[in-house]
Amino acid sequence: MNIPLRPQPVINNLAGENALFIVLGINSNPDHSGIIDFLANFSALVRSMANRFPNSQFTASLGIGSHAWDLLFPDLNKPKELQPFQEIKGSKYTAVATSGDLFFHIRANQMAICYELASIIHDQLKESSYPISETKGFRYFDGRAILGFVDGTENPEHEIAKEIAYVGEEDIEFLGGSYVFIQKYLHNMEMWKALSTEEQEKVIGRKKYDDVELSDDVKPQNAHNVVSKAHDADGNELKILRANMPFSNPSEGESGTFFIGYSRSFNITKTMLENMFLGKENGHVDRLLDFSTPVSGSLFFVPTFDFLEDLAE
């Protein structure tokens, strides 16, 4: 009897009103057994949290960076596309590359539940890792970004999302895993608010109120929803699964979007970034980058729970 794979619940990470995005680095200590033990027990930890808070829309997933994979699993094969993200430098803007060994995406209706898991992670990994970043995300009204537009409009339905987010037979050893790419964008809200609603809509490519896409005769070629797409050789659009969330510290004048994209192939996400920052596909750089600056950029691989549990052996 074939036992089905148990992917981490990345396609369920669109629910929940609050989120924590945590990036850790691994200490140079040659003994990584504590981290491997934690990884092997991660599925049990997630299951325990879900049982404790059954109505909280709690989900959590764990990604492993290229450097960490080499440190932790020197004798194991590596997912085909897992490597350190290389910055994409355009003539005007740059998609920066930043370090990261472990990435945690935690989401639930209550921030207290996100905190509970984050606290456990800290207690168990504090001797073997160090913090790189932690961002608190929240659902803004009806799924809008701080910029006021609905985010994630292009996300596919649940069943289709499985085909988009999870690795298939092209890398059979890592079937059911997922590549996750993260970027933290800071928005210049003063510049953005100085635009009229009509001007903002031309930057995004959609209506602000009802999220209806602008017609082709009105929508500029450098609109965000034009240049942020990727296509195959036959012109068919290629998709990823976005789980973006806004974050903000108003008293510090900081507002932004935490971009997080899951995909079966990072090359799709990379093509989207090249289109945005280089104008690769149609020669137009993303107009949204005039108002949004990426301050991080890291790639991780999210293995199945089966892979993680096998580490105990």
pLDDT of residue 199: 98
pLDDT of residue 41: 98
* Spatial distance between the Cα atoms of 301 and 269, rounded to a whole number of angstroms: 13
* Residue 156 DSSP code: P
pLDDT tens digits for range 22-63: 999 999 888 899 999 999 999 999 999 999 999 999 999 999
Catalytic one among 31, 75, 151, 211?
151
Average of pLDDT values for 242-246?
95
* Spatial distance between the Cα atoms of 52 and 116, rounded to a whole number of angstroms: 11
Confidence check: pLDDT of 272 > 70: yes
The answer to whether 96 and 12 have CB atoms below 8 angstroms apart is: no
pLDDT of residue 4: 61
200: confidence class by pLDDT, cuts 50, 70, 90:
very high
* Spatial distance between the Cα atoms of 134 and 122, rounded to a whole number of angstroms: 12
pLDDT of residue 55: 94
- C-alpha R_g of the chain: 19
The count of C-alpha atoms lying within 13 angstroms of the C-alpha of 91, restricted to the half-sphere facing its C-beta, is 8
Average of pLDDT values for 6-11?
90
pLDDT tens digits for range 54-102: 999 999 999 999 999 999 999 999 999 999 999 999 999 999 999 999 9
Task: Clarify whether 151 is annotated catalytic.
Answer: yes
Confidence check: pLDDT of 3 > 70: no
Q: Look over the chain and give the mean of its residue pLDDT values, rounded to a whole number.
A: 94
pLDDT of residue 155: 85
pLDDT of residue 226: 95
Cα-based torsion angle of the residue sequence 59, 53, 24, 27 in order, rounded to the nearest 10 degrees: -130
pLDDT of residue 164: 94
pLDDT of residue 12: 82
Average of pLDDT values for 161-173?
94
5: confidence class by pLDDT, cuts 50, 70, 90:
confident
pTM above 0.85, yes or no: yes
* Spatial distance between the Cα atoms of 99 and 119, rounded to a whole number of angstroms: 22
pLDDT of residue 2: 42
pLDDT tens digits for range 123-165: 999 999 999 999 999 999 999 999 999 998 888 777 788 899 9
pLDDT of residue 1: 30
Q: 183 or 281: whose pLDDT is higher?
A: 183
